[in-house]
Amino acid sequence: MRRVLVLAKARTGSTPFIELLASHPQIEVRGEAGELLNIETQQLPTGTEALYDYVDAQLAAITKKDTTAVAFKLFPDHLLALGLRLDDLVHHCGIETIIVVWRENIVESAVSELIARATGSWHSMTEASKTERIGVEPEKLKELIEDVERDWATAFASWPIEIPPIFVQFEQLFASDTREDINTYMAPIFHQIGVRPYDWAECYAKRQNPAPMAVKVTNWSALPKELQQTTISVPNLLHKAIGQRFGLPSELIAAVVPDREPSPPTSGSWAYRVAEPYLPPSAVQFVQEALETNSVSSAGVWPQRLTTRLKTIFGLFI
């Protein structure tokens, strides 16, 4: 049973994304709205080991008959507030896949969170009938942005290095509202999770305030331009955190972190097409001589000949 963790900050589209996962007949989502460790709405056990055991038990309690993958959602700030480490959680619970849901337009995400806190409305299944408006102090907005970046950086500091992330960007996932486009985006994600193709994934959550920022924020024009245009790159934050952990530049981490291995087919078997290896005559000769001399170590005939030649070249007598 493959276990999937969806890691996301608030107001980044994680709720509709969880609904898309849950709509697949082979994926079961655990917890209320996919959350198992919500410190604001749930009664949780105390102690890190008890929390890890709790998550493990919840993921094991499957109810759907054809389930081959089980998923849940976690906010980085809840992870940190509970004193948990991402790598310990992953290893304890046998999590194989981590999907990071993020939103490049961090200003819109922050404003959306402020409106949700002011109205008490975090999700909606119906189209918005009116646009909620709010005034935003520049310092408050900067503080929210810094909090988001700090939460991501702290959570990523304990990233399990053996698991390549699957990044889901809000702006790409919901670039179109059509089910066909959303299913096209979800297809490779389902494949990487290891479930069969499914063209009927859908979500029911609706955007609550789809109006432009100049409409939602009453003092938008008074905010500094550089603040209005602030964006975030969560993949870069992950690469930076891993680089700091291992003492390497983030540019190198981005280049050497391996891509995800292809998932096995959901039915049938692998079909490989390989080329016959080319062995030059000299390689065959070296193998034959090694077999004849019973020497394949560094003390074999060819290393000895090379050593003798180097000694001659450099005039060494040992």
**Whose structure tokens read 């709720």?**
15
Residues 52-68 pLDDT 10s? 999 999 999 988 888 99
Tell me the one-letter amino acid at 18.
Answer: I
**Whose structure tokens read 């054809």?**
66
Q: What whole-number distance in Å separates Cα of residue 125 and Cα of residue 47? A: 36
Radius of gyration of the chain measured on its C-alpha atoms: 27
Q: Are the C-beta atoms of residues 128 and 206 closer than 8 Å to each other?
A: yes
**Entry pTM:** 0.78
Residues 250-282 pLDDT 10s? 666 666 565 555 555 555 566 656 666 677 777
Residues 170-215 pLDDT 10s? 999 988 888 899 999 999 999 999 999 998 998 887 777 788 899 9
Sign of CA dihedral 160, 8, 185, 266: positive
